[in-house]
Amino acid sequence: MSTLDSLEFDNRFTNELDGDEILLNTPRQVQGAMFSHVKPTPTSMPSLIAISDEMAEELGFTQEQLESDDFAQMVTGNLVLPGMDSFAMRYGGHQFGNWAGQLGDGRAINLGELVTPSGERRTLQLKGAGPTPYSRTADGLAVLRSSVREFLTSEAMFHLGVPTTRALAAVATGEQVLRERAFPGAVLARIGRSHVRVGTFQYFTARRDDEAIAALARYVAERHYPDSLSAQSPALALLDAVVAAQAALVAHWQSIGFIHGVMNTDNSSITGDTIDYGPCAFMDEYVPDKVFSSIDHGGRYAYSNQPHLAQWNLANLAQCLLPLIERDMHGDGASRDTASTDTVTQSVHDADTDPGRQAAVDAAQASVDAFTGLFEAAWLERFSRKLGIESPREEDASLARDLLDIMAADSADFTLTFRQLGATADVARDAFNDPDQFDAWQARWLTRVAEEARPAADRQRDMQRVNPAVIPRNHQVEAMIRSAIDENDLGPLENMLAMLADPFDERAERSFLATPPELVERVTQTFCGT
């Protein structure tokens, strides 16, 4: 009997949405299923690299279970527990704006839905556990460098308060994985509220399978947005909820200088969580059009473009939900011809001749258009708090943007500037090579915060609570990865995880994560795990 048998798995996704067995599928092009049953590839010598004790406790693991060999065997897929029903999900998507057709979990396998002691449902997914029907000709494996990067970054994001999937464990497989050379293999066990994406809907829209869209929408609504079910149009209410969640998420990204790197529709979560950490990074010096991803040659997913691209993704979701919105409003609906355009109106070529369709298009377009106002409101709230403003006003947006413009002109460090401003404006001033513009801005800022008549100590305390002292500095993350791979030394990883678990606490021993890189240390490109 396994020491983990007390864990409760209950796969509502596979119970409610039928899928094909792997033996019925050919690689890549899987027909007639939202997912495929597939088993992880066994590994020879699994050994734990890192565990998130917080996440493990939330899921109901005991310390005895975490220390058992069964745990390492489970999070590499070697051990199958009662109730597990492992599967890979099928989805489509736009990649860098181009319709890519069928995609799917090429190197991710869901072990199942784990029911926590509090009754919450969390999907346990293994990344790098072997090929699936969606792997094309790839091996479905992951390497140590990408696994520890995602573990570190997703945990850092969580402790910064950003909605995100989380890491449970990273495990070395004891095997080598061939990329540009042989690297140590690893599996990342990650936890999410859901791994349904905009691209999950898009695939069935491209196949004109409105019944599949209806089943998927009903599942998502019941699981994540139950209030939408009682609305006059549940499908429109679902779209509204996802738009609001994405607007809040991207505003949060912007406020901490986070760049996702590959905001394709298949990397856009239906729950408004950050998923699929690939070539992601945090900015050092503030550059609005900053790009790190080695594959983003045109800057499509630059920092400044993230809000626009999030809205573009949501327009594609709106296209998928359009037949359901029309059905809700008029009792019927028709399939669209394509899911490849970037506005709801353009996706429906016959709207002008069908009043019922036009009403649905107008409602969906209004929902997508609402993203702008929701994002701007969330952005204003985030940046006002970063400036110590307790009750934001509309004109405070200009105050924040003017500071960002000054930072960009002087290549000021994004994280450090706001942190120092919360300590004392004089310290922040010293960070600028040409402080004259900052002095003029500072006078406006001090006038504004004085209007709220709050003690300076209270304002500074609140600013320190939202402006992190430490982030996963790219050059330090790379140094940690080199230590793990080249020297088999996991000490730097453990040290960084401990520090990033409390990112707003400023201590001398954490200064290496607070200090911007020297010119020779700068990381200019990040890479996908493949």
Residue owning tokens 């609305």: 231
The closest of 470, 420, 465 to 403, measured between CA atoms, is 420
Helices within 387-455 (DSSP H only):
396-410, 414-423, 425-430, 436-450
Q: At residue 374, what is the residue type?
A: L
Distance, CA of 488 to CA of 490 (rounded, Å): 6
Helices within 191-297 (DSSP H only):
198-206, 210-224, 234-256
The closest of 304, 198, 319, 310 to 246, measured between CA atoms, is 310
According to DSSP, residue 15 is labeled H
The closest of 264, 270, 223 to 242, measured between CA atoms, is 270
In this structure, are residues 334 and 326 in contact, taking their beta carbons and an 8 Å threshold?
A: yes
Spot the catalytic one: 20, 266, 410, 413: 266
The closest of 86, 124, 131 to 107, measured between CA atoms, is 131
Phi and psi at 71, nearest 5°, equal -65, -50
The closest of 123, 176, 168 to 145, measured between CA atoms, is 176
CA distances from 163 to 11, 148, 249, 262 (A): 23, 19, 7, 17
In this structure, are residues 500 and 470 in contact, taking their beta carbons and an 8 Å threshold?
A: yes
- Respond yes or no: is residue 266 known to be catalytic: yes
According to DSSP, residue 107 is labeled S
DSSP string, 204-221: HHHTT-HHHHHHHHHHHH
- Burial (Cβ within 10 Å: 0-12, 13-18, ≥19) of residue 213: buried
First to last CA, the chain: 37
Residue numbers annotated as active site: 266
